Copies of this chain bind each other. A is one copy, B any other.
Amino acid sequence: MKRPTIADIARRAGVSKGAVSYALNGQPGVSEATRQRIVAIAREIGFNPNSAARALSGASARAVGLTLCRPARILSIEPFFMGLISGFEQELAARSYALTLQVVATPQNETEVYRRWWGERRVDGVFVTDLRENDIRIPVLNELQLPAVVIGGPGETGNVPQLWSDDAGAITEAVRYLMALGHRRIARVGGLPDLLHTRTRTKAFTEVCASLGLSEAVTVPSDYTGEEGGRATRRLLITAERPTAIIYDNDVMAVAGLSVAQEMGLSVPGDLSIVAWDDSPLCSLVHPPLTALSRDIAAYGAHAARQLLAAVAGEPVQDVEEGTAHLTPRGSTAPPRES
């Protein structure tokens, strides 16, 4: 089956290719009557502009890219990225932009993919996640002048606009809540320590605990996997002065932590309170359901997509701090048992 082109439309409408192009793109240069006739024919024969031809003649590729730099094992279970992608799609689909995905092994590979995509003219812009300190991707994006939006900051990103949520505020809320319940020994199982938002959280956690007089606030670094989260939990719970509450940097580790506590014969929330960061259906699924720091990740992704499309269109884009995640109390937090 042959794909219809603007030439086919032009022939049937008795006008030139150029006129068809003007008509379909809403540009001046054709009369309203002709435009409607052309649009009607285009619809009738099911015309879709060839994206390659369009991209070739200087217009946009109508596609944006996302690289995922996590091992398959983590990607498959981590709900964050799929939530983000769903959010992207809300905006992208509405403007018929495609999303191009690539799973890579290292940040170095990500820069290579950016270079390739840019050279191939495959995407108009990219989403950048998992920002690190002195992130090697930033200079590449600046060099290539490839429009981008960084999700998760704030950090040094040169001209690249950023979008982040108020992690410091969220962790402050969680710590205050646990303190109000009577907890004095609060620990945290953090995400990958290289990531900038992990550092932001760690810094905020340390500060708020210090300011509230909780001297023993400790953060154990981890890698977002359930195994590591479980191991970190075990390490925390065998200390002499074990914490009575643990905050986890993602939901998967929180679930693993719950499991470890139960396996060690500790009751949740009686002996240990648990707070998960990022509320996914997972948190309500387990028993007891987990108190979580909730934010609307799909909305976050949709916002990022709007930012990226604006950047692609050449509009000035500001750095944006999204709202603070709010605490959703569930069954995994309670006052510590007197002992």
Contact = CB atoms under 8 A, between A and B. Distances in A.
Interface of A: 1, 3-4, 46-56, 61, 63, 72-73, 75-83, 85-87, 89, 93, 96, 98-104, 115-116, 118-122, 143-145, 225-227, 230, 252, 255-256, 258-260, 262-263, 280-282, 284-287, 289, 297-298
A255 B255 CA distance: 11
B259 A286 contact: yes
Interface centre among A46, A79, A118, A122 (most CB of B within 10 A): A122
Contacts of A86: 72, 75-76, 103
A280 B1 contact: no
Nearest to A65: B98
13 contacts: A3-B121, A48-B120, A50-B56, A50-B120, A52-B61, A72-B82, A81-B82, A99-B100, A100-B101, A227-B281, A252-B285, A256-B285, A286-B286
Given A79-B76, A79-B77, A102-B89, A50 B119 contact: yes
Contacts of A61: 52
A108 to B, nearest CB: 14
Give the 3 A-B CB pairs with smallest separation, nearest first: A48-B119, A72-B86, A52-B55
A57 B77 CA distance: 41
Given A258-B287, A287-B258, A96 B116 contact: yes
Given A100-B100, A225-B281, 15 more contacts: A1-B143, A49-B119, A63-B100, A72-B298, A76-B80, A76-B83, A82-B82, A85-B101, A96-B116, A100-B101, A252-B282, A255-B285, A259-B285, A259-B289, A262-B287
A295 to B, nearest CB: 13
Contacts of A93: 102-104
B52 A56 contact: yes
A268 B301 CA distance: 38
B4 A48 contact: no
Contacts of A99: 100-102
A120 B48 CA distance: 6
A148 to B, nearest CB: 15
Given A86-B76, A100-B98, A118 B3 contact: yes
A159 to B, nearest CB: 14
A304 to B, nearest CB: 15
B226 A116 contact: no
A73 B230 CA distance: 26
A259 B48 CA distance: 49
A180 to B, nearest CB: 27
A53 B86 CA distance: 30
Contacts of A63: 100, 122
Residue of A49, A78, A85, A96 ringed by the most chain B CB atoms within 10 A:
A85
